[in-house]
Amino acid sequence: MSRMSQLMRALCVTAFASVSVTTMVPTLTHAAGEAAPAAPAAPAIPLPPGAMAIVNGVTIPQSFLDTAVRAAGTRAALPDTPQLRAALKLQLIARELLIQGAERAHYGSRPEVQQAAPNDRINVEVQSWLRDTVHPAAVTDAQVRARYDAEIGSLGKDEYKPGVIAVSNEASATMILSALRAGQPFDALARQYSVGPTKQSGGAMPWLSFKTPVTEGRTNGVPLALAQTLAQLQPGTTAAQPVQSGNVWLIVRLDSKRPMQTPAFDQVKDEMRKLMQAEATQVAVGQLTASLARAATIQQ
């Protein structure tokens, strides 16, 4: 993989046809600056027992949300918080809106849907409908070049390979630092205590690059406090104190550091185009979902 920014390392993009509804939905409610699904206010009637929401008369069970929360905890080590539940609820509502759109268009009777495995039929139905319904404009050569130039311009002279353990309070962070000083392995502590997405990888993060000296707004998407800490560490060392970033505390280790080497435009332009086209599709699907929501009656 090319040695470049986080975006450039994410250039392995699956084709739109292979993306499942559950994979796409997290991007739907905020694409293109759209607000989360808004709909005409439903009558203030209490939801029936066991219901999370009702979308155009169709009940979404509370058990769907509970399952989504558990999956988020397993796959991304996300803690069960009111914020996570609110976001996942909106995603499930968006998913139901897309399913209803496909059903109204009678995509359930399509041969590819009927031939799919029972557990895959909803995804296949919605994918088929979206492929025929959503047609974002093709990404131009000029747009790809502009994106490449912006990416190159955001990089620093070095890149950093960090390890990070994220916890929800300073006391936990201090306890973990004490355990590290006592000789306990960083990766084992990350798997045991981290509440961040690097939990499963033992705290390992991808290579990062940002401009130095570190200043706000020029960190290439890296949290400011993390970038400042990494820029000061020597490879193989851990920050002596926990680092606060937003509402989490980070134990930061710098595993390695190397000079930044950027790929030529011709090396990455095709993959960048695929990524940008996938992003355009997500934006278009988000806009479609917002339109469906505005015309829907949603009780939650």
Give 27-74 pLDDT, tens digit per residue: 333 333 344 445 555 556 789 999 999 999 999 999 999 999 998 877
Joined together, the tokens standing for residue 268 give 């990455």
| Predicted local confidence at residue 44, as pLDDT | 61
Give 198-226 pLDDT, tens digit per residue: 888 999 999 999 999 999 988 988 999 99
Per-domain residue ranges of the chain = 16-139+269-299, 156-259
| Predicted local confidence at residue 205, as pLDDT | 94
Give 122-131 pLDDT, tens digit per residue: 999 999 999 9
pTM for the model: 0.71
Q: Which residue in the block uniquely carries the two structure tokens 């558990």?
A: 70
Decide yes or no: CATH 3.10.50.40 for domain 156-259.
yes
Give 148-174 pLDDT, tens digit per residue: 999 998 999 999 999 999 998 999 999
CA distance 252 to 259: 20
Nearest by Cα to 295 from 43, 55, 9, 68: 55
Q: Which residue in the block uniquely carries the two structure tokens 């934006």?
A: 283
Decide yes or no: CATH 1.10.4030 for domain 16-139+269-299.
yes
Nearest by Cα to 95 from 286, 294, 276, 246: 286
Residue 265 CA, chain-centre distance (Å), reads 26
| Predicted local confidence at residue 15, as pLDDT | 22
HEC string of the chain? Answer: CCCCCHHHHCCCCCCHHHCCHHHHHHHCCCHHHCCCCCCCECCCCCCCCCEEEEECCEEEEHHHHHHHHHHHHHHHCCCCCHHHHHHHHHHHHHHHHHHHHHHHCCHHHCHHHHCCCHHHHHHHHHHHHHHHHCCCCCCCHHHHHHHHHHHHHHCCCEEEEEEEEEECCHHHHHHHHHHHHCCCCHHHHHHHHCCCCCCCCCCECCCEECCCCCCCCCCCCCCHHHHHHHHHCCCCEECCCCEEECCEEEEEEEEEEEECCCCCHHHHHHHHHHHHHHHHHHHHHHHHHHHHHHCCCEEC
Residue that wins the pLDDT comparison between 200 and 3: 200
